[in-house]
């Protein structure tokens, strides 16, 4: 039995065609951005928590997507990571891509 190997990027591109997968994936994106930037800055969750004025378990829950994070907490985390926080509102689109 021969299975074709695909890269993670190829697999993800294919999965994102599914609207349900895309919604869930995009909902986690801010959490992943925090984790990636924390790692790039060479910080542990504990160090980030101290800088942001919270506790390590809170950072772990935020990064994993198990906790909804407030704008105020995002601002504190952005400051602790020496990062800019950008909040964007955009119109919702129908599943077929047509605008509202």
Measured in whole angstroms, the distance separating CA 95 from the mean position of its chain's CA atoms is 22
**Nearest-5° Cα angle at 81, 33 to 63:** 35
Torsion sign (Cα): 86, 35, 13, 18: negative
Structural domains in the chain, CATH included, are 15-80 (1.10.260.40)
Tokens representing 96 are 């077929």
List pLDDT tens digits, range 16-70.
888 888 777 766 678 889 999 999 999 999 999 999 999 999 999 999 888 888 9
- For residue 81, the 8-state DSSP code is T
- For residue 97, the model assigns a pLDDT of 55
pTM of the model: 0.66
If pLDDT is split at 50, 70 and 90, which confidence band does 95 have?
Answer: low
List pLDDT tens digits, range 65-94.
888 889 999 999 999 999 999 888 878 877
């Amino acid at each position: 039995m021969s299975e074709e190997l695909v890269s993670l990027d190829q697999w993800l591109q294919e999965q994102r065609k599914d609207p349900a997968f895309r919604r869930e994936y995009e909902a986690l994106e801010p959490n992943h951005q925090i984790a990636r930037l924390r790692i790039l800055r060479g910080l542990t969750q504990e160090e980030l928590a101290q800088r942001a004025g919270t506790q390590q378990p809170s950072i772990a829950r935020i990064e994993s997507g198990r906790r909804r994070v407030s704008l105020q907490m995002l601002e504190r985390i952005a400051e602790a990571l020496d990062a800019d926080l950008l909040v964007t509102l955009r119109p919702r689109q129908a599943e077929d891509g047509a605008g509202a």
